[in-house]
Chains A and B, each alone.
Chain A
Amino acid sequence: DAMVIQNPRYQVTQFGKPVTLSCSQTLNHNVMYWYQQKSSQAPKLLFHYYDKDFNNEADTPDNFQSRRPNTSFCFLDIRSPGLGDTAMYLCATSRDPTTNEKLFFGSGTQLSVL
């Protein structure tokens, strides 16, 4: 049974056209993360929510925003996608960000910006 679900699996958008990626979880975890993984590169943390508290990474572009309307759902909004934003976007959850507990990942959304 899928526990972290990302939709859609593949997303194509045009340069500059806003796009939203979604993530839902059935684990009731407190923390939800968004990672960006470009081809042949390591996943890079963009930001995370600990409950309703938003924690942005220092080098995440302003173009990337996130919303968490409730425990189960978290969205990644890219306001004006550029060609360089083509990547796999991974959502993950954990119970607590202050321990080294394992993360549970979704299958990812492959975003292509044309």
Chain B
Amino acid sequence: GNSVTQMEGPVTLSEEAFLTINCTYTATGYPSLFWYVQYPGEGLQLLLKATKADDKGSNKGFEATYRKETTSFHLEKGSVQVSDSAVYFCALAGGNNRLAFGKGNQVVVIP
């Protein structure tokens, strides 16, 4: 079945550092890929998405490129801010249009 794997553990980094959160997937066919973000005390919000290979999703300085050859959709941001502290979830929607989520990564940005 469809599944998403995110790197283990929280990510702690200093303000203005470069952020990468790894995401790989297993799916049949050609899924759509998403990153959702959950700020403290709030629900999940769609951050960005890509619907086909080589597409790049971007929003709020975050980017992720749909890599079919490596089945990956890594999230990157060049210079993080304290306000980016949140939990980030990678997800995919396959042929059944069910969203399959990864476990999420807690990102803590220190001033």
Binding site for B on A (CB under 8 A): 4, 6, 40-45, 90, 92, 97-100, 102-108
Please state if A43 and B101 are interface contacts (CB–CB under 8 Å): yes
- The 8 A CB mask of B43-71 against A (1 = contact, 0 = none) is 11110010100000000000000000000
- CA–CA, A97 and B97, complex, Å: 7
Please state if B93 and A100 are interface contacts (CB–CB under 8 Å): yes
Main secondary structure of the interface of B (DSSP, over half): strand
- CA–CA, A44 and B99, complex, Å: 9
Tell me which residues from 7 to 39 in chain B have a Cβ below 8 Å from any Cβ of chain A.
32, 34, 36
Interface membership of B111, Cβ < 8 A: no
> Which residues of B have CB within 8 Å of A6?
43
Please state if A100 and B102 are interface contacts (CB–CB under 8 Å): no
How many A-B residue pairs have C-beta atoms within 8 angstroms? Tell me: 45
- CA–CA, A82 and B51, complex, Å: 39
CB nearest neighbor in A for B94: A100
A39 CB to nearest B CB, Å: 10
Contacts A42-B103, A45-B98, A98-B97: A107 and B41 contacting too (C-beta < 8 A)? yes
- CA–CA, A98 and B32, complex, Å: 12
Of B44, B100, B102, which is within 8 A of A90 by CB? B44
- 10 residue pairs of the A-B complex, CB under 8 angstroms, read A42-B89, A42-B100, A42-B101, A42-B104, A43-B44, A43-B89, A45-B98, A100-B97, A107-B42, A107-B43
